[in-house]
Amino acid sequence: MIPERFRYHRARSLDEALDLVAQAPGQARILAGGHSLIPLMKLRLAQPQWVIDVEEVAELRGIREEGEVLHIGAMTRYRELMTDPLVARDAPLLALAARRVGDLQVRNRGTVGGALCHADPAADLPAAALASDAELELRSRRGQRRVALGDFLQGPLTTDLKPDEVLVAIHVPRRPGWGVAYQKFPHPASGYAVVGVAAAIAAESGRVARVCLGVTGVGPRAYRAAASEERLVGTGLDPEVLRAASAVVTDGIAVNHDQFASAEYRRHLAATYAERALAAAWAAIQA
Amino acid sequence: MNALIGQPVRRREDARLVVGRGQFTDDVQLPGMVYAVMVRSPHAHARIRGIDASRALGMPGVLAVFTGRDLEGVLGSVPTAWIPPNSDLKQTPHRPLAVDTVRYVGDAVAMVVAEDRYVARDAAEAVVVDYEPLPAVADVMAAVAEGAPLVHADAPGNIALHWKAGEVPDEVFARAEVVVRQRFRQQRLIPNPMEPRAAVAQYDSATGHLTVWMTSQNPHIHRFILAGILGIPEHHLRVVAQDVGGGFGSKISCYPDEALVAHAARVLRRPVKWVEDRSEHFTATTHGRDHVQEVELAGRRDGTIEALRVKAWANLGAYLSTAAPGVPTILFGLIVNGCYRIPQASTEVFGVYTHTTPVDAYRGAGRPEATYLIERMIDLFADAIGMDPVEVRRKNFVPRDQFPYTNPFGITYDSGDYERALQRALERIDYAALRREQAALRAQGRYLGIGFSTYVEMCGLGPSEVAGAVGFQGGLWEHATVRVHPSGKVQVFTGASPHGQGEETTFAQIVAEKLGVPFEDIEVVHGDTDRITMGWGTYGSRSLAVGGSALAVACQRLVEKGQRIAAHRLEAAVEDVVFEAGRYQVRGVPDRSLGFQEVALQAHLAWNLPPGVEPGMEASSAYNPSNFTFPFGTHVAVVEVDPATGAVELKRYVAVDDCGTPINPLIIAGQVHGGIVQGVGQALWEGAVYGEDGQLLTTSFLDYAMPKARFFPPIETEATVTPSPHNPLGVKGVGETGTIAATPAVVNAVIDALKPWNVRHLDMPLTPERVWRAIHGKGAQG
Ligand SMILES: Cc1cc2nc3c(=O)[nH]c(=O)nc-3n(C[C@H](O)[C@H](O)[C@H](O)COP(=O)(O)OP(=O)(O)OC[C@H]3O[C@@H](n4cnc5c(N)ncnc54)[C@H](O)[C@@H]3O)c2cc1C
């Protein structure tokens, strides 16, 4: 429980942070909330030589409207997602997922950027951010790029983040009036999602106009359940449709199995939770 | 002075603990202190071909690396302290550091000592051990199978012990109207007290004295055993356990680590600290439970139980831990009949070596394993004969007028009123209404389950004669000294060694009431072999029943001495002086009295004492109880099962406990709550899992599910009071009742909820997947 020797640097600006990661590519790690990085270091599963704390980097903070999207700084804490009025209005699904993360300390420390860059396959926020069509704004000394979250997440603890890049913010389309729900089956030990399903539905004259279903805990990375979504568009979400669409929520996914849940059971749980999340999201529109 | 016994006095130790001013072992800081880290085996079973410590030794700040070879002939073997008679116990050597062979993941092979923790940790990684992996066996039944790899060459078939009590002939079962048979698995648990183990040792080369601060439930036992391992005279060794952050049995045991640290301090002439980290705790500190039990019950259709036969295989791990052989035998096998009058009963136990972390006492130690099987069997029997499980319990209870009751194994229960506790619980939950609600909800596709556990347990471990008879290599009496200073302030020295139980409060309450001295004037001192004459420690819910009784006796001695002094000073006959609320009063003469503290001052001044009375005001007692105590009660769990996922929700929990005369209801409630939480933990979440290769698969809180506050509804507690006739306080002990009672209550509730699917039994923990598979007829997880 003692990390390898490392050097700690507190960056005062985004430029400074970018310089530091560029100087030691692959050897430096950004420290956000630290609730994933520090445990990994203590177990010596991560052994960065440089730890760059971005606590004071103003460019990574703040939630604001930018036309059709909401800009959410990478250093936004779960707690802020849960309480921010803009998020509540335009992207409430993120707040619902944040609410289900860990415990109070974790929600007070953990950040949007940390959650997405860490890419734990059982983390909550990725499911909700996927179902919110989040796009990532990444910066490096080389420039800036945008990437869809679905492309960014690659596998367990693996992303498309380049060694010299910093995640600055995420951009989510503003979707007031959508029905949203996040349903999670927490692991009794870790509290992470054995299965977590985030559903967002837009309705038009009683029918599903658009639906986004993000799933976590089930596969090597959080994913969008396209097969389920396809079956729902244009329907009135009656029970048979709902069941049939939920039943294919794990189609094409190499389903995880562990001590707690076999693949068979997890597949069943995913279908059950997809059904519950979709029904709840639908009910939220009706309400 | 108000009566204090029975009052919900707040725990006085909390003031320092909650602000972080406790003095735990890791808080001990000594000049020149250095740090030890153990190098542990990653293999369950391997031959050590060689150890290369050269790189570690070359690292700046590294002082020494010790290996098993270095310690041969220097340190003794770590012994077990329980040798049950007629058990053919195979005691195999347990060297503090493995010499040729490692026998479990976590077995220590080397100790690195360095100037700071960080260097020590890095150096430990630099020690290269050349292992030749060998076949391993982790599962208790696999270990007794033909051809299983042997853990110790001198324990054939991996049988560490074979023990039997009672005999029930086959005819009893052949002739019975109803026979119920079930195989149960008591899964392995990992204690996980909040504070892992730790030790700091300091050697005084001038006097040869060695002081060891350590996480101990029983410092005097540790001193006794450590003196043997270290080869140091017992009076030159001091063991101190100041604040200890929980133990749950795991800090009874004597481990190699503390002896190694002490040895290093002696050799290096520097104070040495070792603190187990949480990952290390998972494999290096003893585990609990881990039985397979085959149980048969014979009874009549009218609900009468006629006989019980138990055969159990207990996994003891790779070495015999301190109390390990006694836990699945004496503390389990002699009480499997529970609170029921079962005319014939027998227990047969095989203690089995495996390539796993040693197993020893874990909160309840043996009694949860016994209570679980009998309480489950009652429900299975009730189901078989179509009777309400409450009725079956009632019908077989030892009736109130049959105490003292001697059970089929010769154990004599002190006192009890099982019916009353059950009745109280039934009223509290409104049983009839609850059953109606269950039926109504079932019709709506919701599945409520109601489970009972009407337990009795055997605790207050003592007397010493019994300890001897059952092979415990120690005494089970307790020592107390009450020292009244000239100013009337009181110090109490107890051999009990609280580590979370609140005795600094309860013991002060007892003394305050017995002596009529203000509570604030009393300090309770514990956990230091140099300050306390003798002690056998805190486990088996014995501190109050035995240690508290020692205190009551010592107080009584002081009161009597004071009475003679007071009578002399008041010029009255001793018989004419009464002691009430802290004052000696001449009967019928209200203005002629002396307070206890004034008398204490006179005793110290000794200007004018009655003839034959020695100066001073101090008394001791070495209290040897006449029997165990037998707390009992009824616990009821109400659960709801989600058939779609198998998830179990604990909706309500009612506990009616009878622990004799209550000293402090607040502390009792705390003990009951904590115990229940751990008991429910076993039922629903906890379980150490080993792979077939002997690798522990649950190695952190990410996969070993500790109970969390949010998993629980408010726990409802009530009490009945049936004093124990076996001690002067009438107390019974309450440290383990919750753990003992809760597990079967919850499992019975879940199985009750699963009635519509005809599920007879599921092994613990009742994870959602297990329950879901049972509901959907899917068989075990493949
Ligand atoms: C007890 C506990 C319980 C938890 N329970 C849950 C749970 O139930 N559900 C859940 O989803 N999570 C849970 N978590 C994880 C928690 O959500 C983490 O905090 C989160 O996943 C990571 O966020 P962080 O801000 O702490 O990131 P850090 O730990 O600081 O960083 C994580 C990774 O992301 C990188 N990183 C962070 N920010 C940036 C950036 N701006 N640019 C580039 N790289 C970056 C870091 O370098 C590191 O590799 C739990 C954690 C703990 C300790």
pLDDT tens, position by position, B366-397: 999 999 999 999 999 999 999 999 999 999 99
Q: Distance between CA atoms of A270 and A251, rounded to whole angstroms?
A: 11
Q: What are B199's strand-pairing partners?
A: B214, B274
Instruction: Name every chain A residue with its beta carbon within 8 A of the beta carbon of B746.
Output: none
Q: Distance between CA atoms of B185 and B568, rounded to whole angstroms?
A: 67
* C-beta atoms of B704 and A261 within 8 A: no
Q: Distance between CA atoms of B134 and B693, rounded to whole angstroms?
A: 10
Pairing of strands B648-658, B632-641: antiparallel
Using a pLDDT cut of 70, give the percent of chain B over it. Answer: 99
Q: Collect all residues with Cβ–Cβ distance below 8 Å to B358 and sequence separation of at least 6.
A: B104, B253, B286, B287, B316, B317, B318, B319, B320, B321, B324
B9: left (phi over 0), alpha (psi -120 to 50) or beta: beta
Q: Tell me: pLDDT of B333 over 80.
A: yes
* C-beta atoms of A259 and B703 within 8 A: yes
Check: CB of residue B76 under 8 Å from CB of residue B46. Answer: no
State residue B523's pLDDT score: 98
pLDDT in tens, A73-108: 999 999 999 999 999 999 999 999 999 999 999 999
Restricting to B residues 36-65, those with a Cβ less than 8 Å away from any Cβ of A are none
pLDDT in tens, B724-751: 998 999 999 999 999 999 999 999 999 9
Residue B587 main-chain phi, psi, to 5 deg: -55, 125
Instruction: Name every chain B residue with its beta carbon within 8 A of the beta carbon of A197.
Output: none
Q: What are A207's strand-pairing partners?
A: A204
Q: What are A179's strand-pairing partners?
A: A201
* Residues B518-525, mean pLDDT to the nearest whole number: 98
Mutation target among A2, A44, A100 for the B interface, most CBs of B within 10 A: A2
Nearest to B451 by CA among B540, B531, B535, B390: B390
Check: CB of residue A79 under 8 Å from CB of residue A63. Answer: no
State residue B364's pLDDT score: 96
Q: What are A184's strand-pairing partners?
A: A196
| Strand residues in B108-223 grouped as ranges (E) | 108-114, 128-133, 159-165, 178-189, 198-204, 209-214
The alpha carbon torsion through A179, A185, A191, A193 (nearest 10 deg) reads -70
Spell out the SS3 assignment of B359-406.
Answer: ECCCCCCCHHHHHHHHHHHHHHHHHHHCCCHHHHHHHHECCHHHCCEE
Q: Tell me: pLDDT of B590 over 90.
A: no
Q: Collect all residues with Cβ–Cβ distance below 8 Å to B146 and sequence separation of at least 6.
A: none
Q: Tell me: pLDDT of B28 over 80.
A: yes
Q: What are B740's strand-pairing partners?
A: none
State residue A24's pLDDT score: 84
Tokens of B367: 């009694």
Q: Tell me: pLDDT of B311 over 90.
A: yes
pLDDT in tens, B591-628: 999 999 999 999 999 999 999 999 999 999 999 999 99
Q: Tell me: pLDDT of B2 over 60.
A: no
State residue B1's pLDDT score: 45
Residue found by looking up tokens 């994933």 in the block: A36
Residue found by looking up tokens 């440290």 in the block: B735
CA angle B490, B491, B492 (to 5 degrees): 120
Pairing of strands B34-40, A7-10: unpaired
Quote the DSSP letter at residue B217.
Answer: S
The alpha carbon torsion through A218, A224, A225, A229 (nearest 10 deg) reads 150
* Residues B192-219, mean pLDDT to the nearest whole number: 97
* Residues B524-542, mean pLDDT to the nearest whole number: 96
Spell out the SS3 assignment of chain A.
Answer: CCCCCCEEEECCCHHHHHHHHHHCCCCEEEECCCCCHHHHHHCCCCCCCEEEECCCCHHHCCEEEECCEEEEECCCEHHHHHHCHHHHHHCHHHHHHHHCCCCHHHHHHCEHHHHHHHCCCCCCHHHHHHHCCCEEEEEECCEEEEEEHHHHEEECCEECCCCCCEEEEEEEECCCCCEEEEEEEECCCCCCEEEEEEEEEEEECCEEEEEEEEEECCCCCCEECHHHHHHHCCCCCCHHHHHHHHHCCCCCCCCCCCCCCCHHHHHHHHHHHHHHHHHHHHHHHHC
On the CB side of B563, how many CA atoms lie within 13 Å of its CA?
A: 16
Q: Tell me: pLDDT of B202 over 80.
A: yes
B394 has a chain A CB within 8 A of its CB? no
The number of beta carbons lying within 10 Å of the beta carbon of residue A43 is 13
Domains assigned to chain B: 14-134+194-246+251-284 (3.90.1170.50), 288-461+627-775 (3.30.365.10), 477-623 (3.30.365.10)
Tokens of B609: 């004492």
pLDDT in tens, B122-165: 999 999 999 999 999 999 999 999 999 999 999 999 999 999 99
pLDDT in tens, A133-155: 999 999 999 999 999 999 999 99
Q: Distance between CA atoms of A104 and A99, rounded to whole angstroms?
A: 9
Residue of A1, A43, A262 with shortest CB distance to B781: A262
Tokens of B320: 């015999």
Tokens of B733: 């002990």
pLDDT in tens, A152-206: 999 999 999 999 999 999 999 999 999 999 999 999 999 999 999 999 999 999 9
* C-beta atoms of A258 and B703 within 8 A: yes
State residue B3's pLDDT score: 86
* C-beta atoms of B689 and A265 within 8 A: no
Mean pLDDT (chain B) is 96
**How far, in Å, is the centroid of ligand 1 from the Cα of A53?**
13
State residue A230's pLDDT score: 97
Residue of B118, B277, B645 with shortest CB distance to A272: B645
User: What's the one-letter identity of residue B779?
Assistant: G
State residue A286's pLDDT score: 76
* Residues B255-274, mean pLDDT to the nearest whole number: 98
Q: What are A68's strand-pairing partners?
A: none
pLDDT grade for B781, boundaries at 50, 70 and 90: low
State residue B684's pLDDT score: 98
Q: Which residues of A touch B (CB under 8 A)?
A: 1-2, 4-5, 43, 185, 187-190, 192, 258-262, 264-265, 268-269, 272
Pocket of ligand 1 (CB under 6 A): A 29-37, 39, 60, 74, 101-102, 106, 109-111, 113-115, 117-118, 120, 123-125, 161, 166-167, 191-192
pLDDT in tens, A237-268: 999 999 999 999 999 999 999 999 999 999 99
* DSSP class per residue in B653-698: EEEEEE-BS-S-HHHHHHHHHHHHHHHHHHHHT----B-TTS-BS-
State residue B782's pLDDT score: 42
* Residues B631-639, mean pLDDT to the nearest whole number: 98
Q: Tell me: pLDDT of B780 over 80.
A: no
pLDDT in tens, B638-685: 999 999 999 999 999 999 999 999 999 999 999 999 999 999 999 999
**How far, in Å, is the centroid of ligand 1 from the Cα of A17?**
18
State residue B460's pLDDT score: 84
